[in-house]
Amino acid sequence: MCLAVPGRIVDKRDDRGTAMATIDFGGVRKEICLASLPDIEVGDYAIVHAGFAISRVDVASALETLRLFEEIGEEIGESGEP
């Protein structure tokens, strides 16, 4: 099972003909391939799997998902139970 976490595109570039980007997952930045989403723009949110952006996510949905993950993390931290 995969857990899809939205990340925000912070830069976009061409790397020898392949669209690449840096994506920010709440302070953790990763290099990703944009081959499946070449029209995504800096500031947009995307779902990433295995280093590839696979889906664009609207800002409201991305922020709500991140809020829910934070809430779940806080509850786990308080209870000590996964």
Give per-residue pLDDT as tens, 20-69.
999 999 889 999 999 999 899 999 999 998 899 999 999 999 999 888 88
| pLDDT in the model for residue 79 | 64
Q: Which of 13, 11, 4 is nearest to 56 (CA)?
A: 4
Task: Give, rounded to a whole angstrom, the gap between the first and last alpha carbons of the chain.
Answer: 16
pTM of the model: 0.82
Q: Residue 82 above 60 pLDDT?
A: no
At residue 78, does pLDDT exceed 80?
no
